[in-house]
Structure 1
Amino acid sequence: LAGSTVCLVADGTGELYTKSAAQALALACSMAGAYLPGRPLVEATGSLYNQHIQAANWGLTREETYARRVGELIARLASFAPPRFSHPRVLMLHASEQQRSNTLALGRAILERLSAHCQVEEIGLLNGTVQDCRGCGYHQCLHFAQNSTCFYGGALSEAVFPAILQSDLLLFLCPNYNDALGANLVALINRMTNLVVKEDLGQKYVAGVVASGYSGGDLVARQLLGAMCLNRGLILPPRAMLLETAHDPGDAMRASGVGARIAAFSQGLLDALTSREKLG
Protein backbone atom coordinates (compact mmCIF):
# COMPACT_ATOMS: atom_id res chain seq x y z
CA LEU A 1 0.00 0.00 0.00
CA ALA A 2 3.00 2.34 0.13
CA GLY A 3 2.13 5.58 -1.65
CA SER A 4 -1.46 4.56 -2.34
CA THR A 5 -4.62 6.41 -1.32
CA VAL A 6 -7.29 4.52 0.61
CA CYS A 7 -10.95 5.18 1.31
CA LEU A 8 -13.24 2.79 3.16
CA VAL A 9 -16.81 1.53 2.96
CA ALA A 10 -18.00 -0.36 6.04
CA ASP A 11 -21.31 -2.19 5.57
CA GLY A 12 -22.74 -3.94 8.61
CA THR A 13 -25.55 -6.38 9.21
CA GLY A 14 -26.28 -4.82 12.61
CA GLU A 15 -25.79 -1.57 14.49
CA LEU A 16 -22.36 -2.37 15.93
CA TYR A 17 -18.71 -2.57 14.90
CA THR A 18 -18.78 -0.75 11.54
CA LYS A 19 -16.86 2.23 12.86
CA SER A 20 -14.48 0.29 15.12
CA ALA A 21 -13.63 -2.06 12.26
CA ALA A 22 -13.04 0.93 9.97
CA GLN A 23 -10.75 2.57 12.53
CA ALA A 24 -8.66 -0.58 12.83
CA LEU A 25 -8.43 -0.90 9.05
CA ALA A 26 -7.56 2.79 8.66
CA LEU A 27 -4.69 2.45 11.13
CA ALA A 28 -3.41 -0.67 9.36
CA CYS A 29 -3.53 1.07 5.97
CA SER A 30 -1.70 4.13 7.26
CA MET A 31 1.00 2.05 8.93
CA ALA A 32 1.41 0.16 5.63
CA GLY A 33 2.22 3.45 3.89
CA ALA A 34 -1.12 4.68 2.52
CA TYR A 35 -2.68 8.13 2.57
CA LEU A 36 -6.23 8.49 3.85
CA PRO A 37 -8.00 11.69 2.76
CA GLY A 38 -10.15 13.51 5.26
CA ARG A 39 -13.45 11.73 5.94
CA PRO A 40 -12.42 8.60 4.00
CA LEU A 41 -15.22 6.44 5.41
CA VAL A 42 -18.80 5.76 4.41
CA GLU A 43 -20.42 3.36 6.85
CA ALA A 44 -23.82 1.74 6.81
CA THR A 45 -25.33 0.09 9.83
CA GLY A 46 -27.79 -2.71 9.23
CA SER A 47 -30.86 -0.49 9.59
CA LEU A 48 -29.29 2.41 7.65
CA TYR A 49 -30.55 4.63 10.47
CA ASN A 50 -27.19 6.39 10.45
CA GLN A 51 -28.15 7.78 7.02
CA HIS A 52 -31.39 9.41 8.13
CA ILE A 53 -30.15 12.98 8.74
CA GLN A 54 -28.42 13.25 5.37
CA ALA A 55 -31.36 11.51 3.70
CA ALA A 56 -33.69 14.20 5.07
CA ASN A 57 -31.33 16.95 3.89
CA TRP A 58 -31.17 15.50 0.38
CA GLY A 59 -34.79 14.38 0.16
CA LEU A 60 -33.76 10.80 -0.59
CA THR A 61 -34.40 7.39 0.91
CA ARG A 62 -31.76 5.94 3.20
CA GLU A 63 -30.74 3.46 0.51
CA GLU A 64 -30.40 6.23 -2.09
CA THR A 65 -28.42 8.34 0.38
CA TYR A 66 -26.01 5.50 1.10
CA ALA A 67 -25.43 4.92 -2.62
CA ARG A 68 -24.91 8.63 -3.28
CA ARG A 69 -22.42 8.96 -0.42
CA VAL A 70 -20.41 6.00 -1.72
CA GLY A 71 -20.38 7.55 -5.19
CA GLU A 72 -19.16 10.86 -3.80
CA LEU A 73 -16.46 9.06 -1.81
CA ILE A 74 -15.23 7.32 -4.96
CA ALA A 75 -15.09 10.67 -6.77
CA ARG A 76 -13.06 12.22 -3.93
CA LEU A 77 -10.72 9.23 -3.94
CA ALA A 78 -10.15 9.56 -7.69
CA SER A 79 -9.38 13.28 -7.43
CA PHE A 80 -7.29 13.25 -4.25
CA ALA A 81 -3.82 14.78 -4.45
CA PRO A 82 -1.81 15.13 -1.23
CA PRO A 83 -1.13 18.82 -0.57
CA ARG A 84 2.52 19.89 -0.47
CA PHE A 85 4.06 22.85 1.32
CA SER A 86 7.38 24.62 0.76
CA HIS A 87 7.85 25.33 4.49
CA PRO A 88 5.19 23.40 6.42
CA ARG A 89 3.76 24.72 9.66
CA VAL A 90 3.70 22.00 12.31
CA LEU A 91 1.67 22.43 15.50
CA MET A 92 2.34 19.97 18.33
CA LEU A 93 -0.54 19.66 20.80
CA HIS A 94 -0.26 17.93 24.16
CA ALA A 95 -1.41 17.93 27.77
CA SER A 96 1.73 16.38 29.23
CA GLU A 97 3.73 17.15 32.36
CA GLN A 98 6.98 18.85 31.42
CA GLN A 99 9.51 16.89 33.47
CA ARG A 100 8.31 13.28 33.44
CA SER A 101 6.45 12.71 30.19
CA ASN A 102 7.80 10.07 27.81
CA THR A 103 5.37 11.26 25.14
CA LEU A 104 6.57 14.85 25.38
CA ALA A 105 10.21 13.77 25.14
CA LEU A 106 9.43 11.86 21.94
CA GLY A 107 7.45 14.76 20.51
CA ARG A 108 10.18 17.30 21.17
CA ALA A 109 12.76 15.03 19.56
CA ILE A 110 10.54 14.90 16.46
CA LEU A 111 10.08 18.69 16.40
CA GLU A 112 13.84 19.15 16.70
CA ARG A 113 14.36 17.06 13.58
CA LEU A 114 11.60 18.85 11.66
CA SER A 115 12.57 22.38 12.68
CA ALA A 116 15.19 22.83 9.94
CA HIS A 117 12.53 22.45 7.24
CA CYS A 118 9.30 23.38 9.04
CA GLN A 119 7.92 26.17 11.17
CA VAL A 120 7.18 24.41 14.44
CA GLU A 121 5.03 25.41 17.41
CA GLU A 122 4.15 23.64 20.66
CA ILE A 123 0.99 24.24 22.67
CA GLY A 124 0.42 22.57 26.02
CA LEU A 125 -3.10 22.17 27.37
CA LEU A 126 -2.14 21.00 30.86
CA ASN A 127 -2.34 24.31 32.70
CA GLY A 128 -5.77 25.73 33.40
CA THR A 129 -9.17 24.21 32.79
CA VAL A 130 -10.11 22.98 29.32
CA GLN A 131 -13.88 22.73 29.35
CA ASP A 132 -15.48 20.08 27.18
CA CYS A 133 -18.04 20.86 24.49
CA ARG A 134 -21.50 21.66 25.91
CA GLY A 135 -23.25 20.35 22.79
CA CYS A 136 -24.73 23.56 21.38
CA GLY A 137 -27.16 23.16 18.52
CA TYR A 138 -25.75 23.54 15.01
CA HIS A 139 -27.00 27.09 14.44
CA GLN A 140 -25.85 28.29 17.86
CA CYS A 141 -22.41 26.74 17.31
CA LEU A 142 -22.24 28.35 13.85
CA HIS A 143 -23.16 31.73 15.35
CA PHE A 144 -20.26 31.52 17.80
CA ALA A 145 -17.91 30.26 15.07
CA GLN A 146 -18.76 33.16 12.77
CA ASN A 147 -17.67 35.46 15.58
CA SER A 148 -14.44 33.48 16.08
CA THR A 149 -15.40 32.32 19.54
CA CYS A 150 -17.21 29.53 21.39
CA PHE A 151 -19.78 29.36 24.18
CA TYR A 152 -16.94 28.90 26.68
CA GLY A 153 -14.40 31.16 24.96
CA GLY A 154 -11.04 31.09 26.73
CA ALA A 155 -7.66 29.87 25.53
CA LEU A 156 -9.01 27.36 23.02
CA SER A 157 -10.90 30.03 21.09
CA GLU A 158 -8.30 32.75 21.55
CA ALA A 159 -5.04 30.85 20.98
CA VAL A 160 -5.41 27.18 20.08
CA PHE A 161 -8.00 27.40 17.30
CA PRO A 162 -6.15 30.21 15.45
CA ALA A 163 -2.94 28.16 15.67
CA ILE A 164 -4.76 25.13 14.25
CA LEU A 165 -6.07 27.17 11.33
CA GLN A 166 -2.56 28.42 10.56
CA SER A 167 -0.98 24.95 10.66
CA ASP A 168 -0.43 22.35 7.94
CA LEU A 169 0.16 19.40 10.29
CA LEU A 170 -1.31 18.76 13.73
CA LEU A 171 0.93 16.45 15.76
CA PHE A 172 -0.94 15.11 18.78
CA LEU A 173 0.99 13.70 21.74
CA CYS A 174 -1.18 11.01 23.31
CA PRO A 175 -0.01 9.20 26.43
CA ASN A 176 -2.06 6.07 26.93
CA TYR A 177 -4.11 6.58 30.08
CA ASN A 178 -6.44 3.61 30.64
CA ASP A 179 -6.42 2.75 26.91
CA ALA A 180 -7.96 6.12 26.02
CA LEU A 181 -7.07 9.63 24.94
CA GLY A 182 -6.53 12.04 27.82
CA ALA A 183 -9.39 14.28 28.92
CA ASN A 184 -7.87 17.58 27.78
CA LEU A 185 -7.22 16.27 24.27
CA VAL A 186 -10.74 14.85 24.10
CA ALA A 187 -12.14 18.22 25.16
CA LEU A 188 -10.08 19.95 22.46
CA ILE A 189 -11.28 17.55 19.77
CA ASN A 190 -14.90 17.93 20.87
CA ARG A 191 -14.64 21.72 20.95
CA MET A 192 -13.24 21.66 17.39
CA THR A 193 -16.84 21.40 16.21
CA ASN A 194 -16.63 25.18 16.52
CA LEU A 195 -14.02 25.11 13.73
CA VAL A 196 -15.44 22.52 11.37
CA VAL A 197 -18.87 24.15 11.11
CA LYS A 198 -17.12 27.08 9.42
CA GLU A 199 -13.72 25.92 8.16
CA ASP A 200 -12.64 23.13 5.80
CA LEU A 201 -9.72 21.30 7.42
CA GLY A 202 -9.29 18.93 4.48
CA GLN A 203 -5.91 20.35 3.40
CA LYS A 204 -4.32 19.72 6.79
CA TYR A 205 -2.59 16.57 8.03
CA VAL A 206 -2.85 14.86 11.40
CA ALA A 207 -0.35 12.53 13.04
CA GLY A 208 0.18 11.19 16.53
CA VAL A 209 2.72 9.96 19.05
CA VAL A 210 1.43 7.42 21.56
CA ALA A 211 3.41 6.19 24.57
CA SER A 212 1.92 3.31 26.56
CA GLY A 213 3.14 2.12 29.92
CA TYR A 214 2.24 -1.49 29.12
CA SER A 215 0.38 -2.02 25.83
CA GLY A 216 -2.64 -0.79 23.89
CA GLY A 217 -1.11 2.07 21.94
CA ASP A 218 -3.06 1.01 18.88
CA LEU A 219 -6.33 1.62 20.76
CA VAL A 220 -5.37 5.24 21.41
CA ALA A 221 -4.11 5.71 17.85
CA ARG A 222 -7.44 4.45 16.50
CA GLN A 223 -9.33 6.92 18.69
CA LEU A 224 -7.19 9.79 17.43
CA LEU A 225 -7.49 8.95 13.74
CA GLY A 226 -11.18 8.18 14.16
CA ALA A 227 -11.83 11.61 15.61
CA MET A 228 -9.46 13.69 13.51
CA CYS A 229 -9.41 11.94 10.11
CA LEU A 230 -12.62 9.93 9.83
CA ASN A 231 -14.71 12.59 11.59
CA ARG A 232 -13.03 16.01 11.56
CA GLY A 233 -11.70 15.53 8.05
CA LEU A 234 -7.91 15.94 8.28
CA ILE A 235 -5.61 13.88 6.05
CA LEU A 236 -3.86 10.88 7.58
CA PRO A 237 -0.37 10.60 6.03
CA PRO A 238 1.54 7.35 5.56
CA ARG A 239 2.75 5.82 8.83
CA ALA A 240 1.03 8.58 10.76
CA MET A 241 1.51 7.10 14.24
CA LEU A 242 4.64 6.56 16.30
CA LEU A 243 3.74 3.93 18.91
CA GLU A 244 6.15 3.34 21.80
CA THR A 245 5.99 1.37 25.05
CA ALA A 246 7.57 3.19 27.97
CA HIS A 247 6.49 3.18 31.61
CA ASP A 248 9.07 4.94 33.78
CA PRO A 249 10.17 8.54 33.11
CA GLY A 250 12.91 8.55 30.49
CA ASP A 251 12.25 5.00 29.28
CA ALA A 252 11.07 6.14 25.85
CA MET A 253 14.32 7.89 24.96
CA ARG A 254 16.40 5.01 26.37
CA ALA A 255 14.60 2.32 24.37
CA SER A 256 16.65 0.29 21.92
CA GLY A 257 16.42 1.71 18.41
CA VAL A 258 14.27 4.69 19.38
CA GLY A 259 16.56 7.15 17.61
CA ALA A 260 16.11 5.34 14.31
CA ARG A 261 12.34 5.16 14.79
CA ILE A 262 12.14 8.88 15.55
CA ALA A 263 14.27 9.63 12.49
CA ALA A 264 12.12 7.44 10.23
CA PHE A 265 8.87 8.90 11.58
CA SER A 266 10.12 12.48 11.18
CA GLN A 267 11.34 11.80 7.65
CA GLY A 268 8.01 10.21 6.78
CA LEU A 269 6.13 13.30 7.91
CA LEU A 270 8.45 15.53 5.91
CA ASP A 271 8.04 13.32 2.83
CA ALA A 272 4.26 13.62 3.12
CA LEU A 273 4.31 17.38 3.57
CA THR A 274 6.99 18.40 1.09
CA SER A 275 9.44 17.08 -1.47
CA ARG A 276 12.53 18.35 0.35
CA GLU A 277 15.67 16.28 0.77
CA LYS A 278 16.21 13.81 3.57
CA LEU A 279 16.75 15.06 7.10
CA GLY A 280 20.29 15.00 8.43
Structure 2
Amino acid sequence: MQEDFVTERKEVTLSAEELYRAACRWGIGEVLNRLDLSSNGWEQAPDRLPAWVSDLTASSFRGCWMRYHLEEQAGEEFIHCCEEQVIFGERMGEASSSFKLCGEQVWESLCHAWAKKTCQSIRTEEDQADLPAMLLSRNEYDTLISRLKEMELDELMNRLAINSGDHEGSIALARSLKRPGSHGEILFYGRHSGCEKLELHQVRFVSTDHMNWILRESTGDREDWLIASPSSRHKFQEMLELWLMHSSSVEAPNECL
Protein backbone atom coordinates (compact mmCIF):
# COMPACT_ATOMS: atom_id res chain seq x y z
CA MET A 1 0.00 0.00 0.00
CA GLN A 2 1.28 3.46 -0.88
CA GLU A 3 2.17 5.82 1.93
CA ASP A 4 -0.51 8.44 2.68
CA PHE A 5 0.52 12.05 2.34
CA VAL A 6 -0.96 15.32 1.18
CA THR A 7 0.77 17.91 -1.00
CA GLU A 8 0.28 21.65 -0.71
CA ARG A 9 -3.42 22.44 -0.99
CA LYS A 10 -4.50 24.33 -4.13
CA GLU A 11 -7.77 26.28 -4.28
CA VAL A 12 -9.72 28.26 -6.85
CA THR A 13 -13.28 29.53 -7.28
CA LEU A 14 -14.86 29.01 -10.70
CA SER A 15 -18.10 30.08 -12.31
CA ALA A 16 -20.46 27.40 -13.59
CA GLU A 17 -19.25 28.12 -17.14
CA GLU A 18 -15.60 27.72 -16.15
CA LEU A 19 -16.37 24.52 -14.28
CA TYR A 20 -18.10 23.14 -17.35
CA ARG A 21 -15.06 23.99 -19.46
CA ALA A 22 -12.83 22.16 -16.98
CA ALA A 23 -15.18 19.16 -16.85
CA CYS A 24 -15.08 18.82 -20.63
CA ARG A 25 -11.29 18.74 -20.52
CA TRP A 26 -11.42 16.08 -17.81
CA GLY A 27 -13.75 13.99 -19.98
CA ILE A 28 -16.88 14.36 -17.82
CA GLY A 29 -18.90 16.95 -19.73
CA GLU A 30 -21.62 14.30 -20.00
CA VAL A 31 -21.89 14.25 -16.21
CA LEU A 32 -22.63 17.98 -16.03
CA ASN A 33 -25.04 17.69 -18.95
CA ARG A 34 -26.98 15.03 -17.05
CA LEU A 35 -27.02 17.29 -13.98
CA ASP A 36 -28.22 20.28 -16.08
CA LEU A 37 -25.07 22.19 -15.19
CA SER A 38 -23.96 22.83 -18.77
CA SER A 39 -24.05 26.30 -20.28
CA ASN A 40 -24.54 27.30 -23.91
CA GLY A 41 -22.11 30.15 -23.32
CA TRP A 42 -19.28 28.19 -21.75
CA GLU A 43 -17.01 28.61 -24.79
CA GLN A 44 -17.04 32.37 -24.19
CA ALA A 45 -16.10 32.02 -20.53
CA PRO A 46 -12.83 33.78 -19.52
CA ASP A 47 -9.93 31.38 -19.81
CA ARG A 48 -8.47 31.87 -16.33
CA LEU A 49 -8.31 28.23 -15.29
CA PRO A 50 -5.12 27.35 -13.38
CA ALA A 51 -2.97 24.63 -14.88
CA TRP A 52 -3.78 22.09 -12.14
CA VAL A 53 -7.45 22.39 -13.21
CA SER A 54 -7.25 22.82 -16.98
CA ASP A 55 -4.43 20.32 -17.57
CA LEU A 56 -5.98 17.53 -15.50
CA THR A 57 -6.51 14.80 -18.10
CA ALA A 58 -6.29 11.07 -17.54
CA SER A 59 -7.32 7.91 -19.35
CA SER A 60 -8.65 6.45 -16.09
CA PHE A 61 -10.62 8.30 -13.42
CA ARG A 62 -13.51 8.01 -10.96
CA GLY A 63 -15.79 10.45 -9.23
CA CYS A 64 -19.02 11.17 -7.38
CA TRP A 65 -21.29 14.18 -7.73
CA MET A 66 -23.70 14.69 -4.83
CA ARG A 67 -26.70 16.93 -4.25
CA TYR A 68 -28.38 16.82 -0.86
CA HIS A 69 -31.00 18.44 1.37
CA LEU A 70 -30.40 18.29 5.11
CA GLU A 71 -33.26 19.78 7.12
CA GLU A 72 -33.47 23.39 5.85
CA GLN A 73 -30.10 23.35 4.08
CA ALA A 74 -29.18 22.26 0.58
CA GLY A 75 -25.74 21.53 -0.81
CA GLU A 76 -23.86 20.25 -3.82
CA GLU A 77 -20.35 18.82 -3.98
CA PHE A 78 -18.18 16.40 -5.90
CA ILE A 79 -14.91 14.50 -5.83
CA HIS A 80 -12.90 13.67 -8.97
CA CYS A 81 -10.00 11.19 -8.71
CA CYS A 82 -7.39 10.29 -11.29
CA GLU A 83 -3.76 9.18 -11.35
CA GLU A 84 -2.35 12.62 -10.61
CA GLN A 85 -4.54 14.03 -7.88
CA VAL A 86 -8.00 14.40 -6.42
CA ILE A 87 -10.17 17.47 -6.79
CA PHE A 88 -12.89 18.33 -4.28
CA GLY A 89 -15.54 20.80 -5.37
CA GLU A 90 -18.56 22.38 -3.73
CA ARG A 91 -21.15 25.00 -4.66
CA MET A 92 -20.43 28.20 -2.76
CA GLY A 93 -24.07 28.63 -1.69
CA GLU A 94 -27.48 27.17 -2.43
CA ALA A 95 -28.34 29.98 -4.88
CA SER A 96 -24.78 30.53 -6.10
CA SER A 97 -23.47 29.69 -9.56
CA SER A 98 -19.87 29.53 -8.31
CA PHE A 99 -17.92 26.46 -7.19
CA LYS A 100 -14.89 26.25 -4.94
CA LEU A 101 -12.33 23.63 -6.03
CA CYS A 102 -9.51 22.19 -3.92
CA GLY A 103 -6.75 20.06 -5.38
CA GLU A 104 -4.65 17.60 -3.39
CA GLN A 105 -2.52 14.53 -3.97
CA VAL A 106 -4.80 11.53 -4.38
CA TRP A 107 -4.42 8.81 -1.77
CA GLU A 108 -6.87 6.52 -0.05
CA SER A 109 -7.10 8.60 3.11
CA LEU A 110 -8.58 11.53 1.18
CA CYS A 111 -11.27 9.36 -0.41
CA HIS A 112 -12.06 7.92 3.01
CA ALA A 113 -12.31 11.41 4.52
CA TRP A 114 -14.71 12.60 1.79
CA ALA A 115 -16.90 9.51 2.10
CA LYS A 116 -17.08 9.92 5.88
CA LYS A 117 -17.99 13.62 5.55
CA THR A 118 -20.64 12.83 2.95
CA CYS A 119 -22.28 10.32 5.25
CA GLN A 120 -23.12 13.07 7.72
CA SER A 121 -26.28 13.42 5.64
CA ILE A 122 -27.26 9.86 6.66
CA ARG A 123 -29.07 10.20 9.97
CA THR A 124 -29.08 6.69 11.43
CA GLU A 125 -26.70 3.76 11.68
CA GLU A 126 -29.54 1.25 11.92
CA ASP A 127 -29.93 -1.41 9.25
CA GLN A 128 -33.50 -2.67 8.74
CA ALA A 129 -32.40 -6.11 7.56
CA ASP A 130 -35.90 -7.53 7.94
CA LEU A 131 -37.18 -5.50 5.00
CA PRO A 132 -36.14 -6.73 1.52
CA ALA A 133 -35.30 -4.47 -1.40
CA MET A 134 -38.21 -3.22 -3.49
CA LEU A 135 -38.33 -3.09 -7.30
CA LEU A 136 -40.19 -0.08 -8.72
CA SER A 137 -40.70 1.73 -12.00
CA ARG A 138 -38.39 4.76 -12.11
CA ASN A 139 -40.92 6.71 -14.16
CA GLU A 140 -43.75 5.91 -11.74
CA TYR A 141 -41.55 6.82 -8.77
CA ASP A 142 -40.67 10.18 -10.35
CA THR A 143 -44.37 10.84 -10.90
CA LEU A 144 -45.08 10.16 -7.22
CA ILE A 145 -42.19 12.38 -6.09
CA SER A 146 -43.50 15.26 -8.22
CA ARG A 147 -46.82 15.00 -6.33
CA LEU A 148 -45.33 14.19 -2.93
CA LYS A 149 -46.47 17.34 -1.11
CA GLU A 150 -50.08 17.10 -2.27
CA MET A 151 -50.49 13.35 -1.72
CA GLU A 152 -51.81 11.91 1.52
CA LEU A 153 -49.71 9.21 3.19
CA ASP A 154 -52.30 6.48 2.53
CA GLU A 155 -52.44 7.29 -1.18
CA LEU A 156 -48.64 7.22 -1.44
CA MET A 157 -48.51 3.85 0.37
CA ASN A 158 -51.11 2.36 -1.97
CA ARG A 159 -49.43 3.63 -5.12
CA LEU A 160 -46.06 2.25 -4.03
CA ALA A 161 -47.62 -1.09 -3.06
CA ILE A 162 -49.39 -1.43 -6.42
CA ASN A 163 -46.15 -0.64 -8.25
CA SER A 164 -43.87 -2.88 -6.16
CA GLY A 165 -46.15 -5.63 -4.88
CA ASP A 166 -44.58 -5.13 -1.41
CA HIS A 167 -47.14 -3.79 1.07
CA GLU A 168 -44.90 -3.69 4.19
CA GLY A 169 -41.97 -2.12 2.39
CA SER A 170 -44.27 0.46 0.76
CA ILE A 171 -45.50 1.60 4.17
CA ALA A 172 -41.93 2.10 5.43
CA LEU A 173 -40.76 3.87 2.26
CA ALA A 174 -43.82 6.13 2.10
CA ARG A 175 -43.30 7.26 5.70
CA SER A 176 -39.65 8.04 4.97
CA LEU A 177 -40.52 10.01 1.83
CA LYS A 178 -43.18 12.09 3.58
CA ARG A 179 -40.95 13.01 6.54
CA PRO A 180 -37.30 12.80 5.49
CA GLY A 181 -34.56 14.13 7.72
CA SER A 182 -32.32 14.31 4.66
CA HIS A 183 -32.45 13.26 1.03
CA GLY A 184 -30.42 13.65 -2.11
CA GLU A 185 -28.84 12.04 -5.15
CA ILE A 186 -25.36 10.91 -6.18
CA LEU A 187 -24.13 10.38 -9.72
CA PHE A 188 -21.23 7.88 -9.78
CA TYR A 189 -19.03 8.10 -12.86
CA GLY A 190 -15.81 6.50 -14.05
CA ARG A 191 -13.71 5.47 -17.01
CA HIS A 192 -11.04 2.80 -17.21
CA SER A 193 -7.91 3.10 -19.31
CA GLY A 194 -8.54 1.73 -22.80
CA CYS A 195 -12.30 2.27 -22.59
CA GLU A 196 -13.86 5.33 -24.23
CA LYS A 197 -17.32 4.89 -22.68
CA LEU A 198 -18.10 6.80 -19.50
CA GLU A 199 -19.70 4.58 -16.84
CA LEU A 200 -22.64 6.23 -15.04
CA HIS A 201 -24.70 5.06 -12.06
CA GLN A 202 -27.48 7.08 -10.42
CA VAL A 203 -28.27 6.63 -6.71
CA ARG A 204 -30.76 8.51 -4.53
CA PHE A 205 -31.04 8.36 -0.77
CA VAL A 206 -33.70 9.14 1.83
CA SER A 207 -32.88 9.15 5.54
CA THR A 208 -34.93 9.61 8.71
CA ASP A 209 -34.09 9.26 12.40
CA HIS A 210 -35.14 5.61 12.19
CA MET A 211 -34.36 4.39 8.68
CA ASN A 212 -32.19 4.95 5.60
CA TRP A 213 -32.99 4.05 2.00
CA ILE A 214 -30.64 3.76 -0.97
CA LEU A 215 -32.42 3.91 -4.31
CA ARG A 216 -30.42 2.64 -7.29
CA GLU A 217 -31.94 3.54 -10.63
CA SER A 218 -31.50 2.93 -14.33
CA THR A 219 -29.62 5.59 -16.31
CA GLY A 220 -30.50 4.45 -19.83
CA ASP A 221 -33.38 6.06 -21.69
CA ARG A 222 -34.81 2.66 -22.59
CA GLU A 223 -34.60 1.29 -19.05
CA ASP A 224 -37.21 1.87 -16.38
CA TRP A 225 -36.33 0.43 -12.99
CA LEU A 226 -35.51 1.59 -9.48
CA ILE A 227 -34.45 -0.58 -6.53
CA ALA A 228 -35.12 0.79 -3.04
CA SER A 229 -33.02 -0.91 -0.32
CA PRO A 230 -32.91 -0.26 3.45
CA SER A 231 -29.34 0.54 4.42
CA SER A 232 -27.12 1.62 7.30
CA ARG A 233 -24.76 4.60 7.38
CA HIS A 234 -21.84 2.16 7.39
CA LYS A 235 -23.01 0.47 4.18
CA PHE A 236 -23.55 3.85 2.55
CA GLN A 237 -20.00 4.95 3.36
CA GLU A 238 -18.63 1.61 2.22
CA MET A 239 -20.41 2.02 -1.12
CA LEU A 240 -18.73 5.39 -1.68
CA GLU A 241 -15.27 4.18 -0.68
CA LEU A 242 -15.42 1.04 -2.81
CA TRP A 243 -16.28 3.08 -5.87
CA LEU A 244 -13.64 5.76 -5.37
CA MET A 245 -10.78 3.43 -4.43
CA HIS A 246 -11.49 0.60 -6.88
CA SER A 247 -9.10 1.80 -9.57
CA SER A 248 -8.56 -1.34 -11.64
CA SER A 249 -11.92 -1.43 -13.43
CA VAL A 250 -15.12 0.57 -13.83
CA GLU A 251 -17.12 -2.59 -13.22
CA ALA A 252 -17.06 -1.93 -9.49
CA PRO A 253 -20.71 -0.75 -9.25
CA ASN A 254 -21.83 -4.32 -9.83
CA GLU A 255 -20.02 -5.18 -6.63
CA CYS A 256 -20.64 -2.13 -4.44
CA LEU A 257 -23.75 -0.34 -5.73
Q: What TM-score do the two structures reach when normalised by structure 1?
A: 0.28
The structure where helix makes up a greater share of residues is 1
Q: What TM-score do the two structures reach when normalised by structure 2?
A: 0.30
